[in-house]
Structure 1
Amino acid sequence: MRKYELALVLVANLGEEDKLSELGKIKEIIARFGGQITNVDDWGKRKLAYEIKKVQKYKEGFYYFIHFDAATSVPAELESRLRITERVLRYLVISLEDK
């Protein structure tokens, strides 16, 4: 098992229930493929560095950083599902070095 960090930005026009629902779905994907979440850091709503245009233009987003332990195949599976999720503006999965 390796240590990973998922940086995630959700669209800013979500209600509290929708935001928690999306976060729950992402946690479920990690768990389904054998990953174990160690920490979820909620940074809240923040201004984006640049405007992102999907269906509409977004200037803000909800930032999350999720730390998890998983097999090396899990990040690819996670990214393939995040890529098609409409409420996700940006994501990045990185491998953390073991200390």
Structure 2
Amino acid sequence: MEKNIVLDIDTILNKEFNIDFKGYSPIEVDTFLDMVVKDYDGFQQLILELKNQIAFLQNANDGLKERVVDLEMKLAQSEENNANQSPVVSNLSQVDILRRIARLEQEVFNRK
């Protein structure tokens, strides 16, 4: 972006113009160049602020990317743990159901 900028504040401020017989008014040229210098100064300040903001946002983005990776790893680990525990829970539930059925059958047959 800065590679396209040819002029800077000092170049504009120190520029000398040749005054011809029918040339421009030196006061008018100086006034105009003062406005251009102020604009360039504002542009340089804006560029510096934007560069700082970009750096800040890139650092924040990098931190968030690290957090996403960390959370994805924790999620995968949690899903793996849940997958390993699901059959055990199902087996326990089936064992409990079988025990209940057995008890009910005993009660039914004992009553007869």
**Smaller-chain TM-score range?**
under 0.3
Higher Cα Rg: structure 1 or 2? 2
TM (norm. structure 1) is 0.21
Higher RCO (C-alpha 8 Å, min separation 6): 1
